[in-house]
Amino acid sequence: MTSGKGSAGGGTVTPLRRKRKCPECGRPSERLSFPFCSPRCKAVDLNRWLSGSYVIAGPENELPSPDDEDER
């Protein structure tokens, strides 16, 4: 039988005090558009995502084989 020991999570509240830099322009981020400095930078970042500039880092298995057309 288990003894009464409620494992309630502690009430640790971490205040958002850490200043973050805008990944877009490097300016201090604003709370409104965290982690960006402005909605504009946020849009820019989002746009980049949509345009596929961000490449998903994964295993590079599909490298073009050089031995495709070898004249030998």
CA distance 40 to 20: 16
Of the ranges 6-14, 27-35, 47-55, 64-72, which one interacts with Zn ion (CB under 5 A)?
Answer: 27-35
Report the residue from 25, 32, 43, 46 that binds Zn ion according to the rule CB under 5 A.
25
Of the ranges 8-16, 19-27, 49-57, 63-71, which one interacts with Zn ion (CB under 5 A)?
Answer: 19-27
Report the residue from 2, 7, 11, 22 that binds Zn ion according to the rule CB under 5 A.
22
The widest CA-to-CA distance across the chain, in whole angstroms, is 79
Q: Write the DSSP symbol of residue 33.
A: T
Q: Is the peptide bond before 23 cis (omega within 30 degrees of 0)?
A: no
Q: Write the DSSP symbol of residue 41.
A: H
Asked if 42 interacts with Zn ion (CB under 5 A), we say no
Asked if 29 interacts with Zn ion (CB under 5 A), we say no
Query: 21 forms bridges with which residues in the sheet?
Result: 28
Residues at the interface with Zn ion (CB under 5 A): 22, 24-25, 27, 37, 41
